Structure 1
Amino acid sequence: MHGLGSSANGWIVPGPNHSLAFLLADRGYDVWIGNARGTSYSKKHVRYDPERNPEKFWDFSWHEIGHYDLYSMINYIMNVTQQSQMFYIGHSQGCTCYFALMSTRPEMNKHVNLMVALAPGVFFGSPAITPEFFAFSVFHQIDEHWTLIQQTIPDSGSIKQNLHYIQIILTGEFRQYHLGREENLRKYGLELPLLYSLNRVSSPVTLFAGEKDTQARPENVQKLGTILPNVAELHVVSEFSHVDFLAADSTVELVFDEIFALMYNYAK
């Protein structure tokens, strides 16, 4: 599952020799690539049109993407494949919505034999909002893919997705969306939105952090690792920034090969 501002394209744009989706398929895995609600490929709401009913269609954050959409995606995959478990790989927001889902619907943990979290967006500290915020690390060559990448990002999303992240950054707490005191009381029964119970994420998780990532900083990924109850491994990738996990030429050697080994071991 892709990150904020991206889409399924992020998993395939680097091409057959550098894309995680292609490389997994080459190894015999059945690959399903999700598109978050609101992206170019995911605007077919059964009742609301993004142009005719914008106030209804765009009224969601990554909480809804996890609690409702990802929930439906996993159940659909289980039904079609007739498998009881799957691997889940997320990047950035693709991790956020996973942890939101597994915290609020813990019964779904049994369907995942391993979750791989690439630069998970859960705790942030004070990320640097600079021109480098969405930049690639200068230490990893991405020129070969840059023309195609520029054509696919940023993709569309809701303002509430961004606002929800800002709330977490400002409070330092992984909570559901803050609606204001009165609306919080109506929806949650409390003045503050509910905390996500990360201790309910019982599925095994392997965390990857980039040494030069200014959003999902290594120390914040390590903090996440101390809270999750079933962390298999935690890797800090030298010189990697936030988007290097998808686009750097060295990603296959430094990250994907490690993922392949993990999946092989957990499939036994």
Structure 2
Amino acid sequence: MLNFSFVLTLFVLFFVSENALAVDKVFPGNSKYVEIISDDDTICKSMVQAQGYACEEHKVTTKDGYILSVQRIPVGRSGKTGNKPPVLLQHGIFVDAAPWLLNSPEESLGFILADNGFDVWLANTRGTKYSSGHTSLTPNDSAYWEWSWDELVHYDLSALVQYVNSETGQKLHYVGHSLGTLIALASFSQQDKLINLFRSAALLSPIAYLNQIQSQLTKDAAQLHIAEELYSLGYYEFPPAWDILGKILETICNEPDVNCSDIMTALTGPNCCVNTSKAGVLLKHEPQPTATKNIIHLSQMIRTGTIAMYDYGSEEENKRHYGDSKPPVYDMRNIPKELPLFLGYGGRDMLADVDDVKALLNDLKDHDKGELFRVYIEEYAHADFVLGVNASQVVYDPMISFFNLH
């Protein structure tokens, strides 16, 4: 499983060194962003149309200038027009939309939803390969990477939901995995006008509270302030260069108490049901970059146990951005009690830890009866919810039934 787990080894960049002075030796300079995308090199052509499905490429521009790539699968493989509402799929960190399509059509959520009559929309977060555009910046500009998941809440999610609603004229279902759940939960907690465009939301491996996270690698990275050190040295894209992953792996594997026989397990938990034969295909699409500031924000959550906006590190800076010495909190108790929510979580997930999910569920304890549906799978870890070969039966079937009710 080591080859497959390589797709997530960029997490180990957290562990460049316990000494900030060593970072410059590992990252001798920022990598130049050179990405040439041919007409055939698109998710539609390489992953969707290749399986016999219709596919449309869309572009969505956020209010802060990021140009997001979105794929639409309007009908199932039969070609018959679906009669069900749109569903927006939002991936997690370090990936793009590809994992929703990686398994066979009978096992991949993107295809399963289309074959069940839904109008499927696949999001790609800013900074990823197909969403690297901007109205005035390029990924070589440090300002391009000045964002955390706060901006994904306030700009990306807002732009995507409004676009899908405008194109279809319908309210939509939402499916998020990992970081894709956090941005939805944060948005829902603010109860702005956007929430009126959702029919329901399915949250797989929900990320809200992170202070009980079981991944020792991720916890240590947060405690060592590795992302903050990188940012202070001028590395705003995370990771700064892809060609040093091998060196980083070697560094990590020499650390005491780190078992590198399976990095993926060390990071996400022991996934029971991932098809490792898909590793070669996945490596054509992942891993994807994110902003170092985004990693800092997640690290703050691990250290503090709160769900709050980005902490700028001083009362003065926080006051300048928020008008208060402390960052505003996203209060999960503010999520509308009538909003239909489907939560899928696993007993072996080391990122969306069961106890952290229980803390979220406690915040939702007053949710309207029948509007909060839970699927707990003891043997599932983090990646199983998207890449598990049996997820269609144990997760997606009940999810689709949930959608059909709403």
Q: TM range, normalised to the smaller chain? A: over 0.9
SS at match of 1:33: strand
Matching of residues 67-146 of structure 1 within 5 Å: 67-83=154-170, 85-104=171-190, 106-127=192-213, 128-130=215-217, 131=263, 132-135=265-268, 137-146=270-279
The one-letter code sitting in structure 2 at the alignment partner of 1:103 is S
User: Do the aligned partners of residues 255 and 197 (structure 1) sit closer, same or farther apart at CA in structure 2, a change above 3 Å counting?
Assistant: same
Q: Distance in 1 between matches of 2:197 and 2:351?
A: 29
Q: Distance in 2 between matches of 1:145 and 1:211?
A: 24
How many percent of aligned residue pairs carry the same amino acid?
Answer: 28
Q: Distance in 2 between matches of 1:74 and 1:183?
A: 31
The one-letter code sitting in structure 1 at the alignment partner of 2:149 is W
Residue 146 of structure 1: how far off its partner (Å): 2.7
Q: Distance in 2 between matches of 1:236 and 1:149?
A: 26
Structure 1: gaps spanning 5 or more residues:
none
Match of 1:159 among 284, 287, 292: 292
Worse overlay, 72-81 or 223-232: 223-232
The one-letter code sitting in structure 2 at the alignment partner of 1:192 is K
Counterpart in the other structure of 1:206: 342
1:209–1:235 contact (8 Å) kept in structure 2: yes
2:94–2:287 contact (8 Å) kept in structure 1: yes
Residue 126 of structure 1: how far off its partner (Å): 3.5
Match of 1:63 among 127, 150, 156: 150
Worse overlay, 132-141 or 161-170: 132-141
Residue 120 of structure 1: how far off its partner (Å): 1.2
The one-letter code sitting in structure 2 at the alignment partner of 1:101 is S
- The yes-or-no answer on 1:38 pairing with 2:127 is yes
Normalising by the residue count of structure 2, what TM-score does the alignment of the two structures yield?
A: 0.62
Superposition RMSD in Å? 1.6
Normalising by the residue count of structure 1, what TM-score does the alignment of the two structures yield?
A: 0.93
Structure number with greater Rg is 2
The one-letter code sitting in structure 1 at the alignment partner of 2:323 is G
Per-residue CA deviation, residues 135-192 of structure 1 (Å, 9 max, x unaligned), is 5635324224232223322211111111111000100000000012211011111111
- The yes-or-no answer on 1:18 pairing with 2:107 is yes
Residue 105 of structure 1: how far off its partner (Å): 5.0
Worse overlay, 201-210 or 88-97: 201-210
SS at match of 1:24: helix
Q: Distance in 2 between matches of 1:75 and 1:207?
A: 24
Residue 125 of structure 1: how far off its partner (Å): 2.3
SS at match of 2:132: coil
Q: Distance in 2 between matches of 1:178 and 1:212?
A: 30
Residue 22 of structure 1: how far off its partner (Å): 0.4
User: Do the aligned partners of residues 136 and 227 (structure 1) sit closer, same or farther apart at CA in structure 2, a change above 3 Å counting?
Assistant: closer
Q: Distance in 1 between matches of 2:304 and 2:285?
A: 32
Aligned residues: 263
Q: Distance in 2 between matches of 1:135 and 1:191?
A: 34
1:114–1:204 contact (8 Å) kept in structure 2: yes
The one-letter code sitting in structure 2 at the alignment partner of 1:241 is A
1:63–1:176 contact (8 Å) kept in structure 2: yes
SS at match of 2:123: coil
Per-residue CA deviation, residues 85-125 of structure 1 (Å, 9 max, x unaligned), is 11000000001111222233522212111100000111122
Counterpart in the other structure of 2:137: 48
Q: Distance in 2 between matches of 1:105 and 1:50?
A: 32
Counterpart in the other structure of 1:9: 98
Worse overlay, 11-20 or 144-153: 144-153
Q: Distance in 2 between matches of 1:74 and 1:141?
A: 30
Match of 1:225 among 361, 365, 370: 361
Q: Distance in 1 between matches of 2:133 and 2:271?
A: 38
Structure 2: gaps spanning 5 or more residues:
1-89, 218-262
Q: Distance in 2 between matches of 1:87 and 1:35?
A: 17
SS at match of 1:152: coil
